[in-house]
Amino acid sequence: MNYLQKVIKDTKTRFWVNNPTLADCEAAIESGAFGCTTNPAYCSKLFQTAPEFVQDAIDRVLKKGDRSSPASEQVYHLVSAEVMKLFLPMHEKSGGKAGFVTIQEDPRREHEHEYIVAASKRAARLNRNFMAKIPVTAPGLVAIREMVALNIPICATEIFALSQVVALVETYEDACKKTGNRPEIYITHITGILDDYFGALVKNENLPIAPEVLKQAGTIIAKKEYKYLKKMGFDGRMLGGGARGPHHFTNFVGGDMHITINWSTAVELNAQNTQPVLAMDEEADEAVVRELMEKLPNFKRSYDENGMKPEDFDDYGPTTLFRTQFMNGYARLIDGIELSKK
């Protein structure tokens, strides 16, 4: 039994595989993956890890000549549909509770809730285990309401702050009450990107924060969000994202929480072949929290329950950093399509 299988056996913690190749999917499922996440940079990654796979999808879309939706969206949906097939047996065996595959649409149009809804409806036709991945911003919250009305499972993403979790819970509960629907929902805190953001800030401004203190920032905020969800009795589940190393998984082991990781990180975790250490209930040192609050104003914004309003979410620093990465990846897909037309 490998490390991840031990975690699954002994705790409620689960893992999802992120932006995988088909071979990664098969290996992840064998190790006990609960589901799969993709994002707008998925095809860009596939150009590096499985170029034939994504090129075949591009060729099929161009040959079909369907102009009812953008070619970039069609290619992304096509490769994701192949992943869905691999996870579908798990979805059916679980009674629709596991084996989801998330799709997050064109990042250039994240401000258009009408587009998010329309593209998600198109993606929902791909297979039964589709999950709409939608950012928790002001337009995203409107789209999430629509997903509840349509009873489409939701992966609420681009969460970097407790105030986003509060707004999401309020939006989801209100939509459920009004529609009578209660689709599966995952609340995704992007731990690694938040750490990247704070790390760059400390480096660029030469702030006096020790690496061992800085490394805890994203995890501290995630654990506060987790406690809030438990206190509220919210029946959705928290999903950790943006892992930049094994610690972004091991920090949460023991919690009733899922974490999405690249398969390369899963391989690294399994290679250690150790007994899982229950870390979720480990409390942050109050002196560490105080130092981060004093030296990083945006840590305080993320940490405080009322740190931001929904209209602030969209242009929050970590959000724009994450979206820029997506836009760069999506641009690579568009370039690949244009090159294939020649």
Tell the burial category of 217 from Cβ atoms under 10 Å away from its Cβ (0-12, 13-18, 19+).
buried
Q: Does residue 37 surpass a pLDDT of 90?
A: yes
Identify the structural domains of the chain with CATH numbers, from first to last.
Answer: 3-336 (3.20.20.70)
Task: Tell me which H or E stretch contains 185.
Answer: strand 185-190
DSSP string, 95-134: TSSS--EEE---GGGTT-HHHHHHHHHHHHTT-TTEEEEE
Average pLDDT on 86-100 reads 98
Binned at pLDDT 50, 70 and 90, residue 243 comes out as very high
- Residues 241-273: b if buried by 16+ CB within 10 A, e if exposed: bbbbebbbbbbbbbbebbbbbbbebbbebbeee
Q: Does residue 273 surpass a pLDDT of 90?
A: no
Distance CA 309, CA 108 (A): 22
Interior CA angle at 311 toward 322 and 323, to 5°?
Answer: 10
Q: Give the pLDDT score at 91.
A: 98
Average pLDDT on 46-50 reads 97
- The number of residues making up the chain comes to 342
Max CA distance (Å), the chain: 61
Sign of the Cα torsion 16, 324, 49, 336 reads: positive
pLDDT digits (tens, 9 = 90+) for 194-242: 999 999 999 999 999 999 999 999 999 999 999 999 999 999 999 999 9
Q: Give the pLDDT score at 316.
A: 97
Binned at pLDDT 50, 70 and 90, residue 314 comes out as very high
pLDDT digits (tens, 9 = 90+) for 104-135: 999 999 999 999 999 999 999 999 999 999 99
Q: With pLDDT > 90 as the criterion, what percentage of the chain qualifies?
A: 99
Average pLDDT on 335-342 reads 94
* Average pLDDT of every residue of the chain: 97
pTM as predicted: 0.96
Residue that is written with structure tokens 């399509």 in the block: 337
Write the secondary structure of 231-284 as one string of H (helix), E (strand) and C (coil): HHCCCCEEEEECCCCCHHHHCCCCCCCEEEEEHHHHHHHHHHCCCCCCCCCCCC
Distance CA 337, CA 43 (A): 11
For 187, the token pair is 């609340």
CB 120 within 8 A of CB 302: no
